[in-house]
């Protein structure tokens, strides 16, 4: 009884649940008759196969922002501390050399970085730490990439089967991050099975009859694997993988520039190693920006008849992840220039 369509129409009157007047009236009468004739056991089976008990996926942006600010602050403190220690060590070394040079003719070995190179290392540490914070925020927040638009949304389903928009199907508010959606579902996770498999196992009538209960159970999330949008899923997982790689490489950059600032890295290796690290970061962030732009604007084909085509820009707004990726690209490019022209200079 909880899956009756009249209840869905009543719930459709609620603006918070459905922005369109009649979320499910376009279902053919033949399917309605078949669905009504189905036993309760068949509907219960379809519901059990698709439903799950989600956790509240409202990942607080405040917590993510706090983590990011702490990482940046720690990076700046580390850079300043290392810079102060290096300057103090250089002054002590210069004083000792000055005292003995007249007797022993001692000269600088040229291994210590110049002040300009030290400043370049400090800036690289700060920017690389910021990149780590940016990527961590985008991966941790389940709404960092896209969020559902306000107001009325276009119908995304095939109107000959059912008429509904994503705000009704997914609930509002709803968003997707680089690693998971706001309910914790990864790019490859569904609530038990995909829509295509459910239709094959239970028939279109059984699946559509169970739809109200599935919506209440949040079983349609993560929508990309649930709708079998395979190419879009590949783009999403590729961007996610690049984000994890970027976080690791950016952390390596922080460690590398810290060691270089302490003269723990041979001078002849500072330029090539630093250039390779920041070239990889620059290219990685650029690829992520391109992937997000393509995923957001392209019309994707999904392997099931209910929502055969999906264009994210019709129903979603871009969130802050794209801006973070652009800033990460700019910061990595600046670090690349610093590594090529400044960090290898000697005192």
Q: Specify the pLDDT at position 103.
A: 43
Residue found by looking up tokens 């000269």 in the block: 107
Residues 6+ away with beta carbon under 8 Å from 216: none
Q: Which two tokens stand for residue 1?
A: 């009884």
Q: State the angle between helix axes of 115-140 and 61-104 in degrees (0 to 180), rounded to the nearest 10.
A: 160
Helix ranges (H only) for the chain are 5-12, 29-37, 40-50, 61-104, 115-140, 166-170, 195-209, 211-216, 223-226, 230-261, 267-297, 312-315, 321-341
Q: Specify the pLDDT at position 296.
A: 96
Of the candidates 22, 55, 3, 17, the one whose C-alpha atom is nearest the C-alpha of residue 202 is 3
- Count Cβ atoms below 10 Å from residue 221 Cβ, excluding itself: 26
Residues 6+ away with beta carbon under 8 Å from 149: 315, 316, 317
Q: Which residue(s) pair with 181 in the sheet?
A: 176
User: In a structure prediction context, what are the per-residue pLDDT tens digits for the chain, which is 347 residues long?
Assistant: 333 333 433 433 333 333 333 444 444 433 333 333 333 344 444 444 444 434 444 444 455 555 555 665 665 666 565 556 555 555 555 555 455 444 444 444 455 668 888 999 999 999 999 999 999 999 999 999 999 999 899 999 998 888 889 998 998 899 999 999 999 899 998 777 888 888 888 888 888 888 878 787 778 889 999 999 999 999 999 999 999 999 999 999 999 999 999 989 888 899 999 999 999 999 999 999 999 999 999 999 999 999 999 999 999 999 999 999 999 999 999 999 999 998 765 55
Judge contact between 203 and 49, C-beta under 8 A. no
Alpha carbon 62 to its chain centroid, in Å, reads 16
Judge contact between 183 and 143, C-beta under 8 A. no
Residue found by looking up tokens 């991050």 in the block: 177
Torsion, Cα of 185, 188, 194, 197 (10° steps): -160
Q: How far apart are the first and last CA of the chain?
A: 81
Q: What's the pTM?
A: 0.72
Residue found by looking up tokens 């950059």 in the block: 253
Q: Which two tokens stand for residue 7?
A: 């209840």
């Amino acid at each position: 009884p909880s899956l009756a369509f009249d209840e869905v129409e009543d719930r459709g009157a609620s603006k918070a649940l459905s922005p369109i007047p009649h979320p499910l009236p376009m279902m053919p009468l033949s399917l309605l008759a078949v669905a009504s004739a189905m036993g309760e056991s068949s509907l219960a089976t379809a519901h059990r196969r698709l439903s799950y008990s989600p956790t509240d996926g409202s990942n607080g942006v405040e917590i993510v922002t706090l983590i990011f600010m702490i990482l940046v602050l720690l990076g700046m403190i580390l850079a300043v501390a290392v810079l102060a220690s290096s300057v103090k060590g250089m002054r002590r070394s210069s004083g000792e050399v000055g005292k003995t040079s007249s007797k022993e003719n001692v000269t600088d070995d040229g291994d210590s970085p110049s002040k300009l190179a030290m400043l370049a290392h400090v800036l690289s540490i700060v920017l690389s730490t910021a990149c780590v914070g940016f990527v961590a925020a985008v991966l941790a927040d389940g709404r960092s990439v896209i969020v559902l638009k306000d107001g009325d949304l276009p119908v995304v389903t095939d109107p000959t089967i059912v008429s509904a928009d994503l705000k009704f199907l997914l609930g509002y508010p709803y968003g997707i991050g680089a690693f998971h959606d706001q309910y914790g579902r990864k790019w490859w996770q569904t609530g038990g099975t995909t829509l295509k498999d459910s239709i094959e196992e239970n028939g279109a009538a059984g699946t559509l009859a169970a739809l109200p209960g599935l919506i209440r159970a949040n079983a349609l999330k993560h929508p990309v694997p649930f709708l079998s949008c395979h190419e879009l899923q590949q783009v999403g997982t590729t961007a996610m993988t690049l984000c994890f790689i970027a976080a690791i490489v950016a952390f390596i950059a922080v460690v590398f520039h810290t060691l270089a600032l302490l003269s723990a890295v041979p001078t002849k290796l500072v330029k090539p190693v630093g250039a390779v690290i920041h070239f990889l970061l620059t290219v990685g962030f650029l690829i992520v920006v391109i992937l997000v732009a393509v995923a957001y604007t392209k019309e994707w084909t999904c392997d099931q008849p209910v929502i055969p085509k999906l264009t994210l820009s019709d129903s979603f707004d871009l969130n802050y992840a794209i801006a973070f990726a652009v800033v990460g690209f700019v910061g990595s490019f600046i670090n690349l220039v610093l590594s090529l022209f400044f960090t290898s200079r000697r005192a």
